[in-house]
Structure 1
Amino acid sequence: MTIGPRESWRRDTRPGILVVLSGIAIVCFGGLWAMLTFWPRLVAFDHAVSATIRSMANPITDTVAVALTTFGGVTIMTALTIAVCAWFLWRNMRAEAMLLGVTMILGPSLGAIIKPIAGRLRPAIEYARIPQPSSLSFPSGHAIGAFLFFGTLVFLVLTVEERLRLRDKVLISTVCIAFIVAVSLSRVYLGVHYLGDVLGAWLLGGAIMTLTTGAYILKTSDRGSGS
């Protein structure tokens, strides 16, 4: 007997909770977007904090930041997504491959749509330590990609990979979170984004990931309850 979607929602409240969290993240994203557009004091604060991050320059951090921002770019993130999805498919984990693939297509695509609508300019070109992209600034595409890729991996490690010990799950999750923060802040350090662009990307990423993981839970719980 296969239960319907309504019964699935009654039996497992997690998808509903994630939908609520997604709504909260969307509201927060919209609020941040509006404040960075219409509240000069917040814009000035954002610029000041970003300038402080840029001021921590030295040759070692320059090298590390360039490596991180390259790692978080479209080419490597796309290759990693394809590789991990292929690994999931090889393990017959189709739902997990679909979760990661859909999330990594939806998030960056939505971010790219929002950029010209938000119309926020990047920091002045003299602050850039790498060639400045031609696209606009809000939200950060690198931060969205890193948040969604590594965030989805954290979700799957904590909920699906039952063979891993708790210590290993914590270690992998910590490394993934560190990559999210490091890749995102490298964009501010290198002078091609403001911190507000990164925070907006995290909020948008959170809104998307809670929706896609909620759909994944609903799909897999319904599949598991069928007989």
Structure 2
Amino acid sequence: MRRRHSLPGLVAVLGALAAYAGLAIWVRRHPESPCELVVTRRLQESTPPAVGRFLEWISWLGFPPQSVLVPSAIIAGFWLRGDRRTATQLFFAWTASTVSFVTKRLVRRPRPNHPDVRVPIAQPRDASYPSGHVVTYTAFWLAALVALAERARWLWLRVVLVASAVVLVGTVGLSRIYLGHHWLTDVLGGYLLGGSWYGLVRFLGGGDGQKE
């Protein structure tokens, strides 16, 4: 009965992974898109300075060294507290970044490099598809903040943690486009991979409503 109830979720996960692979093929064949340039320009031109600074801050967790040190500390914290099941799930959620790295090496899409695209923070040197920030935020940070919220004693803290997850995941895509580091399809690919990876880890770990 549990597997029957979780089957739609598994189908959705596999569908998202298939869409991610299909988008990767399309991006490799069409590394530059006039429509995506329009999206980037309009976002950069219409974003107020205060919101722009907020979007710059949102991307901070995805840059080294904090992109390695903070997740490692969170996983170690769960492990040392004896919650090794959660620590293991978070570790596997974090491995979505490895899939992202491999995809980047295969697709080799150049980063946005157009005179109309403003890049306020130094452009990363790796490939563009998918957005590693979006992958990590959607897979690891969503899993970590949900795990912390599930264990929080106070309602207000649970609300803060869930709200933080929503804000991080919901705005990191805009942040990556606003900073000129990624195209729209890089961000969409990041959400597809990160979301499907999060769902897969929940499914395999029994966290998808599969309790007796």
Q: Residue 91 of structure 1: which of 68, 81, 88 is its match?
A: 81
Q: Residue 76 of structure 1: which of 28, 50, 66 is its match?
A: 66
Cα deviation, residue 193, structure 1 = 0.8
Is the Cα–Cα contact under 8 Å of residues 146 and 165 in structure 2 kept in the other structure? no
Q: Which amino acid aligns with 1:143?
A: V
Match of 1:113 in 2: 102
Structure 2: 5+ residue runs without aligned partners?
none
Alpha-carbon distance between aligned partners in 1 of 2:6 and 2:101, rounded to the nearest angstrom = 27
Is the Cα–Cα contact under 8 Å of residues 15 and 215 in structure 1 kept in the other structure? no
Match of 2:39 in 1: 49
Cα deviation, residue 37, structure 1 = 4.4
Highest RCO, 1 vs 2 (Cα 8 Å, sep ≥ 6)? 1
TM (norm. structure 2) is 0.83
Cα deviation, residue 191, structure 1 = 0.9
- Gap change, CA 1:13 and 1:170, over 3 Å in 2: farther
Alpha-carbon distance between aligned partners in 1 of 2:146 and 2:49, rounded to the nearest angstrom = 35
Q: Which amino acid aligns with 2:91?
A: G
Cα deviation, residue 143, structure 1 = 1.1
More helix per residue: 1
Q: Residue 199 of structure 1: which of 188, 192, 196 is its match?
A: 188
TM (norm. structure 1) is 0.78
Secondary structure of the residue aligned to 2:46 is coil
- Map 1:23-38; keep pairs closer than 5 Å: 23-38=14-29
- Larger Rg, first or second structure (1 or 2): 1
Q: Residue 122 of structure 1: which of 111, 117, 126 is its match?
A: 111
- Gap change, CA 1:162 and 1:18, over 3 Å in 2: farther
Is the Cα–Cα contact under 8 Å of residues 33 and 200 in structure 1 kept in the other structure? yes
Q: How many residues align?
A: 209
Q: Residue 181 of structure 1: which of 170, 178, 182 is its match?
A: 170
Q: Residue 146 of structure 1: which of 137, 144, 152 is its match?
A: 137
Match of 1:5 in 2: none
Cα deviation, residue 123, structure 1 = 1.1
- Gap change, CA 1:11 and 1:194, over 3 Å in 2: closer
Q: Which amino acid aligns with 1:27?
A: A
- Give deviations 1:95-145, integer Å, cap 9, x for gaps: 0011111211x2111101101222222111643222111111110111111
Q: Which amino acid aligns with 2:201?
A: T
- Gap change, CA 1:135 and 1:39, over 3 Å in 2: closer
Alpha-carbon distance between aligned partners in 2 of 1:214 and 1:11, rounded to the nearest angstrom = 11
